[in-house]
Amino acid sequence: MRAIIGLGNPGKKYEFTRHNVGFLLLDYIAAQNKLTFKSENDYLIAKGELDNSPFLFIKPTTYMNLSGEAVVYVKEKFNIDLDNLLIVHDDLDLSLGKIKIKLSGSDGGHNGIASIIYHLYSNKFPRLRIGIGRDFSDKNIIDYVLGEFSSNEDEVILPVFAFCRELVYKFLEGGTKRMLDFYSSQYNKE
């Protein structure tokens, strides 16, 4: 079984913020596949199946800096190997709409990833990083990441979600290798 874990903050106040891009991507894919999230423990879960293979979409209901608690619980409850967990999160260091896949490494200053590394005792898990840019010269970083996407930014991010959906499907079909093969053959060729 594979699981896609989108990072974000719970509650209406944060629903459409840049920091919630992981939640937003899972909502986007779930809606297209008629999947419904249900509350369990410290996360929302949607269960699905692709080519007879079951999968999970997970949105932790803890705040971002405690995301690792839900990730560890899901990993242990469903007996999922680290390489079968894909974490989707925002990234300030990537321009708006750019994406990058990372298979391991540091938290890069992201509190949600830091929490996951801490709770898993490992930094060896795949991540799909979605760029939100650093356009916050007139405000501080917290106001920026917790701010909502503008209509201009929405026009950039929606096509990115369509491509990320395909990456998620490839991951669910064949793991990181299939996802990386698709990424390297298609990204920046649009």
Could you report the per-residue pLDDT of 68-121, keeping only the tens digit for each?
A: 999 999 999 999 999 999 999 999 999 999 999 999 999 999 999 999 999 999
Expressed as residue numbers, the domain containing 129 is 2-186
Residue 113 is predicted with a pLDDT of 97
Residue 140 is predicted with a pLDDT of 82
Handedness of CA 132, 14, 68, 141 (dihedral sign): positive
Q: What is the CATH number of the domain that holds 63?
A: 3.40.50.1470
Q: Which residues of the chain have pLDDT under 70?
A: 137-139, 188-190
User: Which pair of tokens denotes residue 106?
Assistant: 């540091």
Burial class (CB in 10 A: 0-12, 13-18, 19+), 108: middle
What's the structural domain count of the chain?
Answer: 1
CA separation, residue 188 to residues 93, 98, 163 (Å): 18, 9, 11
119 is annotated as an active-site residue = no
Beta-carbon contacts of 3 under 8 Å, excluding residues fewer than 6 positions away, are 55, 56, 57, 58, 74, 75, 78, 80, 84, 85, 86
Secondary structure (3-state) at 103: coil
Distance CA 46, CA 30 (A): 8
Residue 188 is predicted with a pLDDT of 61
Residue 177 is predicted with a pLDDT of 96
User: Which pair of tokens denotes residue 27?
Assistant: 């909502």
Handedness of CA 162, 182, 175, 98 (dihedral sign): negative
Residue 134 is predicted with a pLDDT of 85
Are the beta carbons of 10 and 62 closer than 8 angstroms? Answer: yes
Candidates 19, 89, 110, 119; catalytic one: 19
